[in-house]
Amino acid sequence: MPRRKLSMMLQVGLTGLLLVACAPATVEDSATTSSEVVSVSSSSEEGATDSSATEMRTFTLEELSQYNGKDGQPAYVAVDGVVYDVTNVEAWKNGDHKLGLTAGNELTEEITNQSPHGLKVLEGLPIVGELVE
């Protein structure tokens, strides 16, 4: 009987150790995108406030132009009114895309008509806000 109990305790301990070792160390390590965070926080009960919800920023075209990936600035692009962060996308290195596009601009027409990937290329990119005109 004690052997069986010891064996069970070891199995439980190893399972717990594996769960801890495989869990993301920080929120940044998880696969949650900003759009998922927004949808989760916006689905809270009506009237309830969630102080941990990330507020989406609004950008004018002039404000968006400052996020061109140059001089240490992040690289943002707007498509269909949504502003995406392309800073860490290799194809947008230093804010310039190989198709001749530059970050800091509204690129709906270019992404939908010129990109061989279309809107699918935006999937999984962090959403940082919305474009207002």
pTM exceeds cut of 0.75 = no
Instruction: Report whether pLDDT(87) > 80.
Output: yes
Instruction: Report whether pLDDT(69) > 60.
Output: yes
* Cα 68 from chain centre: 18
Q: What angle do CA 87, 82, 39 make, to 5 degrees?
A: 100
- The answer to whether residues 108 and 79 touch, using CB atoms and an 8 Å cutoff, is yes
Neighbours of 80 (CB within 10 A): 13
67 occurs within a structural domain = yes
- The answer to whether residues 79 and 107 touch, using CB atoms and an 8 Å cutoff, is yes
17 occurs within a structural domain = no
Domain that holds residue 101: 29-46+53-131
Residue 63 structure tokens = 């404000």
Per-residue pLDDT band for 67 (boundaries 50, 70, 90) equals very high
CATH of the domain at 125: 3.10.120.10
Give the count of domains, the chain. Answer: 1
Mean pLDDT value across residues 91-117? 91
